[in-house]
Amino acid sequence: MNSHAAPSKHDIRAALNAIATPSGKGLGDSGVLSEIFVAEGKVFFSIAVDESEAQMFEPIRARPKR
């Protein structure tokens, strides 16, 4: 049995707030995240922005997956 509890969606969103968006808001509170899913120890979400903002969000999207 794994002794590590899966992070909650709240914890994940809080961690994502350490990443600043072009507007200066944290990614977790920016309003651009899809629903956050946690499955088999992995976290899944998407960033949905208007096409006109896509280039500004590219550095965030391109960050290494961890």
Can you give the pLDDT at residue 61? 86
* pLDDT tens figures, 24-53: 999 999 999 999 999 988 899 999 999 999
Give the amino acid at 13.
R
Spatial separation of the C-alpha atoms in residues 31 and 37, rounded to whole Å: 16
Number of structural domains, the chain? 1
Domain that holds residue 41: 9-61
Residue with tokens 């994502």: 16
Q: Is residue 2 part of a domain?
A: no
Q: Is residue 32 part of a domain?
A: yes
Q: Is residue 15 part of a domain?
A: yes
Q: Is residue 18 part of a domain?
A: yes
Q: Is residue 66 part of a domain?
A: no
Tokens of 27: 């990614």
Which has more pLDDT, 19 or 5? 19
Give the amino acid at 26.
G
